[in-house]
Amino acid sequence: MKVLSEARIAVVGLGLMGGSLAGALRGRCRQVVGVARRRQTLEVALAAGLIGEGTTSLADGVRNADVVILATPVRTILQQIDEMAPFLPSDCLVMDLGSTKRAVLAAMERLPPHVQPLGGHPMCGKEKSGLEAADPDLYWNCTFILVPLPRTSPEALALGREIVRAVGARPLVLDAERHDRWVAFLSHLPYALSWALVAAAEEVLTADPTAREVAAAGFRDTSRLAASDVTMMVDILLTNREMVLHALRACRNHLDRLAEWLEQGDEGALRIALTSVRRQRLEMF
């Protein structure tokens, strides 16, 4: 398995995450090859200096790659793993950037034995999507989770760590079960709550559009995630459905308690609960 500086890396999917990663890896490896469905996307990425060469053929893109990084929506990743399997060379490292891991690792388990699989999930992003939003500094100082399979070699994991550090991120190794449970509460639930907030606020805005003038920084910050890419979020919610449902039920229980205290006018219970959570939030960051 080659070291990063000698590696030919194929980045499959040149949206926000893939385009940003490709740009961050330019100059840190031998070559970055972009794989996209549309020729126009490749032309934009080439003109921006995010990739060194590009192709619309998945097979051609991975055929001579030392590292393949799948940066497409999760259910597309599941399809591409099977599609590209016959074309992957020996000792190729296959990584992904998907936001859920159990389904991806199950698919990676089917890869040929001469291929090294490694799940990945960078904890960063924007509410904007597409190559136009790509930024080579996107990964800087973020946590980048790596999820090895039992068959993943120490050398493959070491190369994965090297890639993560090369783009300015911090590697954190987890198993798939813990990953999916943690991100359900800390990433997917915030999106669901942001969606619910916008959906609820729409009742007021529909009745009187002037209410938009009241929306201040708190609403804008809290509702930001609701503008996330829909295809990406549908894939995330469906492929992590069990964990997300658990997180939603836990949150609903807390909201029900809050509603109960308000109905009863229980100022004491409200003050204790709000103070406790305020303290927890201040200690988090």
Domains of the chain: 4-174 (3.40.50.720), 179-284 (1.10.3660.10)
Q: Are 104 and 96 in contact (CB under 8 A)?
A: yes
Global confidence as pTM: 0.92
For 171-184, what is the mean pLDDT? 98
Q: Is 206 exposed, middle or buried (0-12, 13-18, 19+ CB in 10 A)?
A: exposed
Answer whether residue 127 shows pLDDT above 90.
no
Q: How many CA atoms lie within 13 A of 66 on its CB side?
A: 17
pLDDT, tens digit, 9 for 90 and up, residues 233-266? 999 999 999 999 999 999 999 999 999 999 999 9
Query: What's the pLDDT at 214?
Result: 84
